[in-house]
Amino acid sequence: MSTAIELPPRPTPADENKSVIDMSKMNEGQRAALQVTEAARESHDDLSFVAHLFMGRWRPEKLHPLTDGDAAEKVRADKFLADLAAFLRAKVDGDLIDRTGEIPDDVMAGLAKLGCYGIKVPQQYGGLGFSQTTYCRACQLIASHCANTFAHLSIHQSVGVPQPLMLFGTEEQKQNFLPRVAGGEVSAFALTEAGVGSDPARMTTKATPTEDGSAFLLNGEKLWCSNGTRAGLLIVAAQTPPKLVDGKPRTQITAFVVEAKSPGVEVVCRSQFMGHRAIYNGVLRFTNVRVPRAHIVGGEGRGLKVALTTLNAGRLSIPAASIGVAKRSLQIAREWGKVRIQWGVPIGQHAAVAEKIRRIAAHAFAMEAMLLATSRIVDRDKKADIRLEAAMCKLWGTEKAWMCLDDIMQIRGGRGYETEQSLTARGEKPYPVERLMRDNRVTTIFEGSSEIMRLFIMREALDPHLRIAGIALNTERPWRERLGSALRAAGFYAWWYPRQWLTFGGAAPADMHPHLAGYLEKVARRSRRLARTLFHQMVRFGVQLEKRQVLLGRLADIGADLFAIAAACVYAQKLLKDGEPEAKIFMLVDDFCAQALIRIEQNFRGVGHNADQHGYDLAQQVIAGEHQWIERGIV
Ligand SMILES: Cc1cc2nc3c(=O)[nH]c(=O)nc-3n(C[C@H](O)[C@H](O)[C@H](O)COP(=O)(O)OP(=O)(O)OC[C@H]3O[C@@H](n4cnc5c(N)ncnc54)[C@H](O)[C@@H]3O)c2cc1C
């Protein structure tokens, strides 16, 4: 296979407001939403492993070999994690926290003493200075025990003050705020509003510059701010005065660090949810809150970029928690599958139950592989492009964790549905399946819902094509520019497209065990099929492709499963190198790959054979009330 994809240069800051996407047929709301998110996109020249997969290119060296990381850190990290595990067992009662909706002060103090509020914060700013991998291991550990404690710590450091300041903060901001948050002062992140969920362009919270320009006055209301009722510091996203682009005002979103005790900051109410009952989530109101200009994070108008970039690495804490949940499900399945006897044998020996146990084991293994592979990329190069990998870890990990929870609920039967308190009262072992399920349902919704993750993945997957051919298809660009772009695109595709039909190429790294190499070659072949399928859909639907969300979703899912197989093989190779027996590791790899390859095949088939349009039409009829008669007979 050829080694280079010639891409046009990424947009310069001056050009980044001119999207390559044709927005001429969009309504104002759609156009505004897209303009804001397009302007906030990160852009990298060096494509990641997954970005290459979508282009049919095979770059295993981006994942392999999976190393141990820094040896000195590992010694320190192992001790920290052992202390943390001991603290969780001794002091953190997940059931009590769930029932009372409160994390006791002594638990927070104990976590602060361990350094849990600044796991990744550099030591020079008072944190533990650990890597992304160690942070993820800590998240997994905590979430396997108590989702509330996990959410509290992860929101604080993944999206609260530490992560955005580490990425975008000025030296003065780092020195002022990082020691406070690393020491245990709680922080929160306020983006969502009643009208702003997945679409930040509609944000109404405003930050108006003061007359002398030294500060801003913040006014508005933020919804569902986790940690918000206990936070000392907040990251708040607000609209600042619009910028003129091509003579038209363009929404600007800016991120600020706000002292929660500032006059005018008010907790309007505390929100209550199905799970995460101690998440200290609330509605926050800001009335003429004075925020110094020096508290802007990342520059005026770059707030969404700060939020989206923060979420790339920040978002890895949620799949880390998903691994904790999947492993806990596996532990319960192993114990209960052996001791619960029905129809004369342990239930784990009934094929229908064994199928679920197998599914949990294989996916817990693959989830860990994906996250390890991605965390290691971050640890090697903090500026590396992991947008696709991180989004896939989040999308795939949270959906597969939910599948595992559904399986363990079924395996536990009626006891799965029973609360821990009730199980304890009857003298039974209180496995927390009911609590785990309530707490974890939200993970496919917050920090980027699954639907938004699929769109995000496909936007990034399409980026090389948009950079090559987007201008040619964009009716808003001058014809000369379009013609030039069309000629360049023709040259590129004449070279690229035939290569997507090659049945050879895509060798595994030389040091890979032949058994694993076989799977990697399958991934390489299917990545070319994925690339040409995506290309065919682009040709078929043109600019309308972005509306085919179900179709794009299938392609995103194929990409995620291919990444999962590749990561599983790379992880397996590391385990073999560490001395794990082949037979044991291959049992898991074989089972996972069999399941993932079946899903991939089904998704490929669904691209050509589906009832997507029919289904969409039915949904529109339902919304229009044409099938309201089906609702007859309910209260
Ligand atoms: C427990 C909890 C804690 C939270 N903590 C915080 C926090 O700390 N800070 C904060 O700022 N926010 C927080 N949120 C808000 C959270 O991030 C949002 O709920 C999330 O962004 C989704 O927004 P929404 O709920 O308004 O859904 P909506 O945006 O209204 O979406 C509703 C549905 O439509 C789908 N959808 C929306 N747009 C599209 C599209 N273009 N294409 C296809 N499907 C689409 C969504 O995926 C979803 O399924 C929290 C929410 C909860 C429940």
Distance 446 CA to ligand 1 centre (A): 6
pLDDT at residue number 628? 97
- How far CA 298 is from CA of 309, 383, 517, in Å, comes to 11, 15, 43
Distance 537 CA to ligand 1 centre (A): 29
Q: Which of 434, 447, 460, 546 is catalytic?
A: 447
Token match 């245990």: residue? 184
Task: Identify any residues that bridge with 322 across adjacent strands, giving them in sequence order.
Answer: none
If one residue of 150, 224, 315, 447 were mutated to test the ligand 1 pocket, choosing by the most ligand atoms within 8 A of its CB, it would be: 224
Element (H, E) at 450: helix 450-465
Element (H, E) at 113: helix 105-114
Q: Is 193 a catalytic residue?
A: no
Give the start-end residues of each E strand in 345-502: 345-346
3-state secondary structure of 274: coil
3-state secondary structure of 245: strand
Distance 307 CA to ligand 1 centre (A): 14
Rounded to the nearest integer, the mean pLDDT of the chain is: 93
509 CB under 6 A from ligand 1? no
Task: Identify any residues that bridge with 193 across adjacent strands, giving them in sequence order.
Answer: 196
Say which residues have a Cβ less than 8 Å from residue 79's Cβ, sequence separation at least 6.
Answer: none
Q: Which two tokens stand for residue 256?
A: 């600020």
280 CB under 6 A from ligand 1? no
97 CB under 6 A from ligand 1? no
Distance 199 CA to ligand 1 centre (A): 9
3-state secondary structure of 583: helix
Q: Which amino acid does the sequence have at 374?
A: T
pLDDT at residue number 477? 85
pLDDT at residue number 441? 98
Give the start-end residues of each E strand in 330-369: 341-342, 345-346
Q: Give the domains, in start order, of the chain with CATH numbers.
A: 13-41+451-618 (1.20.140.10), 71-182 (1.10.540.10), 187-307 (2.40.110.10), 312-448 (1.20.140.10)
Residue 614 Ramachandran class (φ > 0 left, ψ -120 to 50 alpha, else beta): alpha
Return d(Cα 269, Cα 208) in angstroms, integer: 25
281 CB under 6 A from ligand 1? yes
DSSP category for residue 469:
I
DSSP category for residue 185:
-
Ligand 1 atom closest to the Cα of residue 190 is 11
pLDDT at residue number 413? 98
pLDDT at residue number 46? 84
226 CB under 6 A from ligand 1? yes
Residue nearest to atom 43 of ligand 1 (CA): 451
Query: Mean pLDDT in runs of 10 for the chain (635 residues)?
Result: 49 51 68 69 83 96 92 96 98 98 98 98 98 97 98 96 96 98 98 88 93 97 98 97 85 96 98 98 98 98 91 88 98 98 98 98 98 95 91 98 98 98 98 98 96 96 90 84 90 95 87 97 97 96 92 98 98 97 98 98 97 98 98 97
pLDDT at residue number 542? 87
